[in-house]
């Protein structure tokens, strides 16, 4: 291995490490307080955790077709799990999507959960969120217990074979360990 290649390999390893240096499954999830896109009222993770078994944090977008493929599924998921003591928070960190657009999008798609605006993508940076949609689940102790996708099929909700986020939330509700706590999917990069 030449010196040049060694330097390159080291640089690549550093880049890879940086990409995953943020929120880690099994560690404390970063706290956040952000204004709701609709009325500017503060939504705090800590407050939600006091009254829920877990909080599903979803980084979402207004204009990303991949994220929009999940609008109905996210709305339904929030309704289904509210009764089970799980709150959902949508976070929009795209600098190109103002709060008014985010609020209109949430209303249009019947989101019953809070959607907040992350100006300057500070919370996206804290979590290391890279694309939309991207899901994180924080349990009542404040530990990050799931990071990844909603499911594997953005095109067709009826053909989903691996509803990973729901499976993770079911485990939280049942008090059992989450089998697949880290999953991957494609998505639109968050515009920073």
Partner 1 sequence: MSLVLLWMAVSLATPSATVEPLTAPDFAKKVVAPHRGKVLLVNFWATWCEPCVAEMPGLAKAGKQAGVDLVTVSLDSAKNLEPVRSFLFKAGVTGSQFVASMTDPEQFINGIDASWDGTVPYTLVYDSNGMLVGRLRGMQDDAGMQRAIAAAKKTKR
| Minimum distance from residue 84 beta carbon to partner 1 (Å) | 26
Among residues 53, 63, 79, 84, the one that binds partner 1 under rule CB under 8 A: 63
Q: Looking up tokens 């019947």, which residue turns up?
A: 110
List the one residue out of 112, 110, 111, 98 whose CA is nearest residue 40.
98
Beta partners for residue 57, in sequence order: 89, 136
Q: 53, 124 in Cβ contact below 8 A?
A: no
107 phi/psi in degrees, rounded to 5: -65, -45
Closest to partner 1 by CB, 87 vs 187, is 187
Query: x/- site string to partner 1, residues 14 to 53, per CB under 8 A?
Result: -xx--xx---------------------------------
The bridge status of strand 114-117 relative to strand 131-132 is unpaired
CB of 59 to partner 1, least distance (A): 11
Q: In the window 97-156, what residues touch partner 1 (CB under 8 A)?
A: 130-131, 149, 152, 155
Which region among 2-10, 70-78, 82-90, 112-120 touches partner 1 (by CB under 8 A)? 2-10
């Amino acid at each position: 291995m030449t010196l040049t290649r060694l330097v390159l390999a080291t640089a690549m390893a550093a880049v890879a490490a940086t990409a995953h240096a943020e929120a880690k499954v099994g560690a404390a999830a970063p706290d956040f307080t952000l204004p709701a896109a609709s009325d500017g009222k503060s939504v705090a993770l800590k407050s939600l955790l006091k009254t829920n078994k877990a909080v599903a944090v979803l980084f979402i977008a207004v204009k990303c077709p991949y994220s929009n493929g999940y609008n109905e599924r996210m709305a339904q998921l929030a309704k289904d799990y509210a009764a089970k003591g799980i709150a959902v928070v949508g976070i929009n960190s795209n600098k190109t999507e103002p709060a008014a657009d985010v609020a209109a999008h949430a209303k249009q798609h019947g989101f019953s959960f809070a959607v907040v605006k992350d100006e300057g993508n500070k919370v996206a940076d804290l979590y290391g969120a890279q694309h939309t949609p991207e899901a994180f689940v924080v349990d009542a102790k404040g530990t990050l217990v799931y990071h990844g996708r909603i499911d594997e099929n953005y095109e067709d909700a009826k053909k989903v074979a691996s509803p990973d986020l729901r499976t993770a939330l079911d485990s939280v509700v049942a008090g059992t360990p989450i089998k697949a706590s880290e999953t991957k999917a494609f998505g639109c990069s968050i515009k920073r």
